[in-house]
Structure 1
Amino acid sequence: MPQVSHALRLQAWPFLLLACTLLAGFAGLLASAFPQLPVPEPLRFSWAGSLTLVVGGMVMSAWLFRSSGRALLLKKLAYQASHDALTGLANRTMFEEKLQQDFTLARQNNRLMAVLFIDLDEFKPINDTLGHKVGDRLLVAVARALEACIRPTDTLARFGGDEFVVLLPDLESARQAEEVAERILQKIALPQQVGGHELYLSASIGISLLDDSETSPEKLIRQADMAMYKAKRQGRDTFQVYSAELDAKLSRRVTLRQDLQEAIRSGQLFLHYQPQVDQNGKFFGVEALVRWQHPTRGLIAPERFLPLAEETGQIVPLGKWIFTQACKDAVQLKEMGLLPGRMGVNLSPLQFHRPGFLDKLKKILAETGLPADLLELDLTEGVLMKDRCRAISLVNSLQELGISTAIDDFGTGFSSFSYLKDLPASSIKIDKSFVENVVTNHKDAAVCKGVITMAREMGLTVVAEGVEDEAQFDILRAWGCHRFQGFYFARPMALDALVSWAREVD
């Protein structure tokens, strides 16, 4: 027979006492009303005494049931405060409490522990496409899969959305944490049957380890989070272990991001313009290039801050400023008779695919007064690879407005030739990586010559970027390249310098 716990006996005795009290009271009432009944003498109370027992028992029962209901409610609230409502896993609050406990024990006993930060890859498209009910069921399935990968002494929590965190205390080596991450990646990669759908997921995992440095529990979570983002940037479906080098690099990125936000607000950004020339070396058009003059770091190269702006979304306000300023300067050049062609502006994928892009562009043209036929947008192949049908539709709309489009950095992507036949682009730009060795490298020469020949047959204008000497200019011109841009003709320059240069070469 199973043993009844001491705690259970303590919880049960008030109800046993209540039962005895009510039983004695009712027995006393029966004995008073029917003296002939065989009621034991100890239970033959007076009528008033029996009634007192019954009423007291009823009052006691009301109090007990109210108290037990309150206890159940408190227990339920405590559970909800410490657990995720969807998956039943620990929530952030409970995880941080457990982390603090295990952190203290690990420090005292000189033991190794690890935190794993898990983010599901491409969960949002599934959630958006199939609905939140399917998404929620998938998260529950993932939670069960994660539980199967860890020990009973480990702690698994859901931080919200598609983020999960695992606490691994009392490890023998760092390799153990990596083995857990590998098991998780394998488990999550298995197909999940949810709502009649066979769904596939992967995950990016960051691992932070408690070392001898002055690390805090909160810092372990942050470090695992940083390592997870590095795993995402390395292609996803992998794990990455945090290192001090990663911390320094990410700290620089965070600082750069904050500085860029200030630069957008305070006017540290400015535009330089690089001319384009035709086959006769005559000024034909110009491309706007953004520059950043940092108050303490000096001039920061665009390749350092533009990718960051694209990742963080800062490219949206930055791009709006570039468009507006370039259009204003183009109007100024036009009024001076110094804009023989178009003003070229680079367009990021995030700007291009943002809702309302076309309306915002038309508004900028209207506010600055620049005719649409004096604007050319440089699109990278990455812009066109996402939602190809919509991209083609947008480029058609731009063409209807009179805005020209150019495919920038042509040849550096994987699908260059497949979309050209459908895309109403006006020109393509041969990337400077092919142009710089066109004279000395027969493969680069073949690429350039092939692109020029193909473009001519398709009725497209070809622009060679990065032309730095006469030999490159001569060979590309001989093959039929239409326009040229590079240091051989002019470096990027401020608007005033461009005005002087244009007047000099006119």
Structure 2
Amino acid sequence: MDTTGLEFRLINELIESSQDGVFVLNSLNKIILNNVTASRITGYSPAELIGQDAFLLGSGLHDDSYFQKIEQFLEMNLRWQGSMINRTRTGQAYLANVLIIRINDDEGDLQFYLLRLLSVQILGDLVDSVITHMPQFDACPNLLPGSEITLSTFFDINTGDNNNDSFALILLKIEASEYEPNGRNSHQSASDKIVSYLASQSQQFVFAGKLNHNYLITIASFQQRNTLEQILGHLRLVLIEMINSENKSANQPIGLSLSAAVYPENGIYLDSLLVKAVSTMLHAKTINKQSSYFIDEPQNKSSSNLITYSYLKEALNNEGLCLFYQPIVTLDNQIVAIEAFLRCKDDQGGLLLPNEFFPVAEKYQLLPAIEKWVIAQALQDMKMINSTSLRLHVNISASQFLHPDFYQELQENLRHYDFSPSMLSLEINNDLMTKQQAAAMSVQLLQKSGINIAVSCGYSLFTSYRFMAEIGARQIKFDRYYARKIYERKVDQTEIDIMLKQLLSQNSEVIIEGIEREDDLEFFKSRGCNLFQGIYFYPPMTIEQLMQSI
């Protein structure tokens, strides 16, 4: 930032005196200044924030296109205000009303951004308010505020075991200006009417509650997935007509936005579903859509998804799943570990990659059975290899890792195949950040039994490092993203240097994925790394090919 002396001190004083969380970002999106309020909101100290990419503050719920639209708007208008979901240092998701101001130099080029968090709502607190403040009727009177409620428990209480409907958490936002005469009262009146209506439709809506004066929540039952969009659209029209029927003299009619997250494919916890519903609403607004639901595939993909579903069902029933293995090697090319990669056979004899079928597996609740198969098959293959010095790495989803039966079932598999727990590494990712306390307890239990836990490092090194430290994991894997971006010269090498130095000084085990070229290897080798994985050494291979290589 091209400010010196008195100018810089004045800017700093203005920022520090602000009651909002304030950040200054340079043209590379690095944080160069933040105030005490910003640290209080995010949980990061100023020392932890300065020099970090602003991505550190993100939730991972907004894709690149969302931020590209904001950047394009700022190029034209220099000022953008809207909602955004971020995460605190401990992984809590929060909804922020954000103001971003673009500051250009004399030639019109970007100099820095001023980012202000005008208001913040921790989404976990919104969930507590749903449980504890349900006007007119309370569907779960025995649930304690702040308890970790899964919707399966909720539905067992309220709908019984014989209900075959599907369920969606629906978020409703009242769109009325508070600067209109009686604007706040209009919000209150509209929210009361909406809750009354939802309460009267108990055949379809399990409960309704207010989050605050303009956000409401309900859970709806529906028979088929393709009817959910119709339910949202119809509900919005009915509610808009109802809440505006007595307010025809208003300068601006009250509007309404709806979004939904589907249980259990989008999550099993109230807070995770709520986060995804909020994320969906924000994305929908960028395309002027007033109702949508989370991760709904485009229409032209629906038929291929049904085909993939049939492949998966067939694969589970008829040995159509298979594992490939990629070695993890030392600098002298000694194989010390292998990672299991899942593939699914299609009806043409080809192989489907995980990114082609995992979303569908989650959608149709096939993932638990698939992951159980992976662990059992990988342990069986290790028995064939019959090596006491080769470690096995297996990727585990967040839902499976936190499942109450996961630890016991894993221990039974290890005993059945006579496999040492110390030779197994479970790879997890930052998806578990929203359940950090539960993740830490699982990590502690697993590591106590001798099993290793490796954190797969995503797009934010610092976030992954903090997550690794908080849960007590001892291994970290640098995603292939870093090797690729270093080759393309699109990543901050200083950040990587600092993080590697910190990790290696703590004797953490660091594995670098995605090594494809000698340049990739030399970069990490020169920084003290000794464990690598990638096609520069070995491609993924069948168990038969692996046995010939070791």
Aligned 1:63-142 pairs, distance under 5 A: 129-130=131-132, 134-135=138-139
Kindly indicate whether the alpha-carbon contact (under 8 Å) linking 1:271 and 1:290 is maintained by their aligned counterparts in 2. yes
Kindly indicate whether the alpha-carbon contact (under 8 Å) linking 2:340 and 2:394 is maintained by their aligned counterparts in 1. yes
Corresponding residue for residue 63 of structure 1: none
Kindly indicate whether the alpha-carbon contact (under 8 Å) linking 1:408 and 1:428 is maintained by their aligned counterparts in 2. yes
Corresponding residue for residue 406 of structure 2: 357
Kindly indicate whether the alpha-carbon contact (under 8 Å) linking 1:439 and 1:472 is maintained by their aligned counterparts in 2. yes
User: Does residue 1:396 correspond to 2:454, yes or no?
Assistant: no
Shift of 1:375: 0.6
SS at match of 2:471: coil
Corresponding residue for residue 451 of structure 1: 499
Corresponding residue for residue 306 of structure 1: 358
Corresponding residue for residue 465 of structure 2: 417
Kindly indicate whether the alpha-carbon contact (under 8 Å) linking 1:470 and 1:488 is maintained by their aligned counterparts in 2. yes
- Corresponding letter in the other structure for 1:275: P
What is the alpha-carbon distance in structure 2 between the residues aligned to residue 402 and residue 136 of structure 1?
40
What is the alpha-carbon distance in structure 1 between the residues aligned to residue 238 and residue 496 of structure 2?
46
Shift of 1:323: 0.2
- Corresponding letter in the other structure for 1:497: Q
Corresponding residue for residue 480 of structure 2: 432
Change in CA separation of 1:297 and 1:281 when aligned onto 2, cut-off 3 Å: closer
Aligned 1:178-257 pairs, distance under 5 A: 180=237, 183=240, 203-204=258-259, 232=277, 235-236=280-281, 239-240=290-291, 246-257=298-309
- Unaligned 5+ segments in structure 1 are 1-120, 166-175, 188-200, 207-230
Shift of 1:497: 0.1
Kindly indicate whether the alpha-carbon contact (under 8 Å) linking 1:310 and 1:348 is maintained by their aligned counterparts in 2. no
Shift of 1:180: 3.8
User: Does residue 1:163 correspond to 2:212, yes or no?
Assistant: no
Shift of 1:261: 2.1
- State which of 457, 477, 490 in structure 1 corresponds to 2:538: 490
Kindly indicate whether the alpha-carbon contact (under 8 Å) linking 1:431 and 1:464 is maintained by their aligned counterparts in 2. yes
Relative to its length, the structure with more strand (as a share) is: 2
Change in CA separation of 1:265 and 1:413 when aligned onto 2, cut-off 3 Å: farther
Change in CA separation of 1:417 and 1:183 when aligned onto 2, cut-off 3 Å: farther
Shift of 1:459: 2.0
Aligned 1:371-390 pairs, distance under 5 A: 371-383=420-432, 385-390=433-438
Change in CA separation of 1:284 and 1:247 when aligned onto 2, cut-off 3 Å: same
Corresponding residue for residue 332 of structure 2: 280
Bigger-Rg structure (1/2): 1
Relative to its length, the structure with more helix (as a share) is: 1
Deviations along 1:244-266, one digit per CA (max 9) or x if unpaired, are 99433234323322331221111
TM-score for both structures, normalised by structure 1: 0.55
Kindly indicate whether the alpha-carbon contact (under 8 Å) linking 2:425 and 2:451 is maintained by their aligned counterparts in 1. yes
- Unaligned 5+ segments in structure 2 are 1-122, 142-168, 173-188, 207-218, 223-232, 245-255, 262-275, 285-289
Corresponding residue for residue 346 of structure 1: 395
Q: CA RMSD for the aligned pairs?
A: 4.3
Corresponding residue for residue 418 of structure 2: 369
- State which of 342, 346, 354 in structure 2 corresponds to 1:290: 342
- Corresponding letter in the other structure for 1:204: S
Kindly indicate whether the alpha-carbon contact (under 8 Å) linking 2:343 and 2:351 is maintained by their aligned counterparts in 1. yes
User: Does residue 1:317 correspond to 2:369, yes or no?
Assistant: yes
